[in-house]
Structure 1
Amino acid sequence: MALISRHGRGAAALTGTAIAALALAGCTASAEDTTDDATGSSEAPAELTPVSVQLQWLTQAQFACYYAAADQGYYEEEGLEVEIIPGAVDIVPIDVLTSGGADFAVSWVPKVLGAIEQGAAVTNIAQIFERSGTTQVAFKDSGITSAADFAGKSIGSWGYGNEWELIAGMQANGVTLDDLAGGSTVQQAFDMNAFIAGDIDAAQAMTYNEYAQVLETVNPDTGELYTADDLIVIDWNDEGTAMLQDAIWADAERLASDEDYAATATSFVKGTIKGCVYAKDEPQAAADIVTAAGSTLGTSHQLWMTNEVNKLIFPSTSGVGHINEDQWDSTVAMALDTVNPEGATIITTEPPETAYSNEYVDAALEELKAEGVDVMGEGFEPIEVTLNEGGE
């Protein structure tokens, strides 16, 4: 079985050396003996290649593709023994990757574009999320119906590079940070407590996580859970300022110089896509797999997250993981134009050609298509999920 590391938030306190040691500490397993059909002789056991991947955040169904691929043996089918390393608030996946602490990393594109400009030699080899999951959520009685209404309001943001779509959406609607209450966004915790308490007029929320947290909370005015009818949701996909999010990143220099690593990149992407397809077809089973891997989220919340993440992947326009040039160019254009509170843009120059490549994902997609795997999901239909109080 593939290894699943459960470092949790405690990993934030580890030194870079310790993280590297943990990330590369996967065991090497042996496949079953194979027999040569022509001679009948037995070959030596084939060893699995140890691989590690650094996630952007804690163990949760945002990463159901990876956990399902590990649990269902898809990585092993590709000759890999994969260690999945959860993230934490103080862990920067690209730093772990470039320091040799992991073979691959999962991170949002705008966050990594800045790192590339600062010298990180990494390549996006698979764009797992085709759509953005970031929204800004307000109560209907707030007077907010679009980003144009943010002026004079208290607008929450997590920061840490998660704010770029929000700022781009404001800029597109003629609202500057100076126009907000207090002259900037409010530092928001990674929950919706301040929003529910009325301290934030519009809060940052992922469709698969924080938005659900509101719907799992009892409305004191009704004694029932809040519903979608109580809320206004500003979706950056609809506003035209969505940026590419969860992607698989590889070491660009190793891709160019190490043929085995390049082959492993294709195999890792292939196994991951099979995990995505499994999560699409078996959302409850995928949610249970993530819970068993160490997630502390409630049962209904985990299933909600799996279902919402599926919507960000399926249906795919050109095959799961293929990097659409128009979406890449749009993200880069906003990275060059969006101004943060310090007056700086994400990047100041176009990223190098090595910033992304479809070579590895397209090779994986061709193999999967030949094996009869549905990599498009054209008939995908999300399920209906009933959230319980507290996500239980």
Structure 2
Amino acid sequence: MITTINNKHKKLNVPNLRFPEFQGEWEEERLADIADLYKGTGISKDQLSDDGEPCILYGELYTKYKSETIREVISKTNIDNTKLVRSKDNDVIIPCSGETAEDIATARCVLNGNILLGGDLNIIRLHGYDGTFMSYQLNGKRKYDIAKVAQGVSVVHLYGEHLKGVKTINPCLTEQKKIVSLLTLLDERIATQNKIIEDLKKLKSAIINYAINSLDTDFAKFSSLYEMAGEGGTPTTSNGSFYDNGKMPFIKIDDLKQKYLTENKDFITELGLQKSSAWLVPTSSILFSNGATIGEITITTYPVCTKQGILGIVPKQNIDVEYLYYFMSSSYFKKAVSRIVTEGTMKTAYLKDINNILCPIPTKEEQEEIVKIPSTLNSKIDTEKSILKLFITQKQHLLHQMFI
């Protein structure tokens, strides 16, 4: 176990939490004084290939590389590389553009050299500093300093000139590496925990798909499975009387992330419900996103109303809500929905078309038997997610306490 000294009540330029073998104050330095800044070149998403040289695109920092260190590069390209930019060991990369000023502070250390770095990537090439330590610092204590110098509204931009003046506060290289060794161990445990969760999800999906595809039973149209169904609606956002001190849960797509809906952030008033196309979806109903992000699904545990793009589905008495949840999560149902999606300003799977999807309808007893194993796995996944949340909280605590 690593012993640390708490410097919380001291006024020196040192972190609250520190390894006991290190002394002396950390130094404040601008990025321009400790690094050279460059920019990546070229490489679009459609230029990726199954073979060729390893490369990193800026968007992958948001989607594929979740920890501060990039050890293995996922993408490749075989385009002409004579004018492309290559990484050097220990380079720190950060996007040139993003959706918000806060999100753009997403730094990653590329451990290995000779990786092609795409356009819209800032490259921070440090002089004798640990790149992973700098990534932790930029993503943590310096996150809002970076947000302040980013420019733009709908799309936020961040370039080398903006980064030059960002201050960093650093210990000696040996202490940087010691901090990195601790945080890297935690990142590895987080990655392992994510893998456990993903494997359990794959197992659950495989079991659901096998159960649905193996059914030897009658089929009926989707419209015969429910008592009531329909999209929600959004009350006029400029009318405060529809929202102020509202008590009625108002569900958005971001709320449809768990099997059971147990909490939500937004609310509307009774008047807002009356003056919009929203309706009150009862407890033990299905919510299914049918617009934009299609296929998110949850089971209500209390009455709610929803925005447009979310279907509320109230099952009939002979349909177990858990069975309906797992059936609508199956590859069978997802493929059927994908065939009826309407392209337009926004992709939509209209209820009138979903109604015609043929669905296997076993007896209520068979439905209840089918859901037993995936429900057990779902509980296991929830437990593993809780463990993951604890690890992430621990990491955030260390980032706050071990940096200045």
Q: Under TM normalisation by the shorter chain, which class is it? A: under 0.3
Q: Indicate the structure with greater helix content.
A: 1
Q: Flag the structure with larger Rg.
A: 2
Q: Which has the higher strand share?
A: 2
Query: TM-score by structure 2 length?
Result: 0.20
Larger relative contact order (CA 8 Å, sep ≥ 6): 1
